[in-house]
Amino acid sequence: MSKQLVLMDHDGGVDDYLATMLLLTMDHVELLGIVVTPADCYVQPAVSATRKILDLMGFSHIPVAESTVRGINPFPYLYRRDSFIVDHLPILNQSETINTPLVAEPGQDFMVKVLREAIAPVTLMVTGPLTNIAVALDQAPDIEAKIQKIVWMGGALNVPGNIEKNWEPGQDGSAEWNVYWDAVSAARVWKSQIEIIMCTLDLTNNVPLTSELVQKMGRQRNYPISDLAGQCYALVIPQDYYCWDVLATAYLGHPEFYQLREWETEIITNGMSQGRTKVVAGGRKIYAMDRVDKEAFYNYILQQWAR
């Protein structure tokens, strides 16, 4: 059986490295590359940490590309600085050299190239904003036919967003960060015919990162990947943290854990609700992950990271 072709686009948050680590454990997936978007990170340490994770897990043949796209509303620096911390974790710095190649061209150009060269349609696994895809589609409209679907952690349909109002007085609290960073690009992707499967805050709000989960990783820390995953989660445990990107990515491994539901939506690109994914009759059809078997999900990531 041929493998599922996947191109990952992440934005360098703690959660994104964990999602990468989960994707790399999926035997039925052929990962064609990783694009790092400069959103929930500082991009140089985020690219570096990503390449070191690929080295550690034995995937140093997979290329990593740095995107040079720009968003509209920057992520808080307190979130972004985690990229420096992860890049300096001892387990990722056992060697002086990095073997995983850094692509010379910008990530958005690399996305076009990978899609054009792919022998079959590719699933885009996106755990950051949709900016690269919007730029790539404008630059090379022919690639739309090479995208099988987009699986995306983003949006908030029938729950509040996650923008801190005291940091972002221009937002009414309805937006989710990956949309808010660049809502114009999300709206551009909404204009395409590509199938979109979203993991929104409606679902992730029900799947918190728990102390129990991190402690279970500690008890299997003789496995380097569990040790690294536990270290990453320990960094963020003081925050109100949920399994966002990891929950979205686990869909590729076990879609049967999830129930999907179709919605008609639009992306609000300006005013106080900019970045909102609004449910509107007659709007663009998307699928949202509506329910998940939580215990199966938690057990799955623990099992996959036992390596």
Kindly list the residues in this chain that would bind Ca ion in the complex (CB under 5 A): 11, 13, 16, 127-128, 245
Task: Output 146 or 253, the one with its CB closest to Ca ion.
Answer: 253
Residue 207 CB, shortest distance to Ca ion, in Å, is 15
Q: For every residue of the chain, which 3-state class applies, written as one string?
A: CCCEEEEEEECCCHHHHHHHHHHCCCCCEEEEEEEECCCCCCHHHHHHHHHHHHHHCCCCCCCEEECCCCCCCCCCHHHHCHHHHHHCCHHHCCCCCCCCCECCCCHHHHHHHHHHHCCCCEEEEECCCCHHHHHHHHHCHHHHHHEEEEEEECCCCCCCCCCCCCCCCCCCCCCCHHHHCCHHHHHHHHCCCCCEEEECHHHHCCCECCHHHHHHHHHCCCCHHHHHHHHHHHHHCCCCCECCHHHHHHHHHCHHHEEEEEEEEEECCCCCCCCCEEECCCCEEEEEEEEECHHHHHHHHHHHCCC
Residue 39 CB, shortest distance to Ca ion, in Å, is 7
Residue 154 CB, shortest distance to Ca ion, in Å, is 9
Q: Are strands 64-66 and 29-36 parallel, antiparallel or unpaired?
A: parallel
Give 85's Cβ-side CA count (13 Å radius): 15
Task: Output 162 or 231, the one with its CB closest to Ca ion.
Answer: 162
Residue 244 CB, shortest distance to Ca ion, in Å, is 7
Residue 117 CB, shortest distance to Ca ion, in Å, is 26
Task: Output 11 or 176, the one with its CB closest to Ca ion.
Answer: 11
Partners of 4 in beta bridges: 29
Residue 17 CB, shortest distance to Ca ion, in Å, is 9
Task: Output 127 or 174, the one with its CB closest to Ca ion.
Answer: 127
- The dihedral over CA atoms of 242, 67, 45, 154, expressed in degrees to the nearest 10, equals 0
d(CA 150, CA 197): 6
Task: Output 16 or 202, the one with its CB closest to Ca ion.
Answer: 16
Task: Output 178 or 274, the one with its CB closest to Ca ion.
Answer: 178
Residue 141 CB, shortest distance to Ca ion, in Å, is 27
Residue 249 CB, shortest distance to Ca ion, in Å, is 10
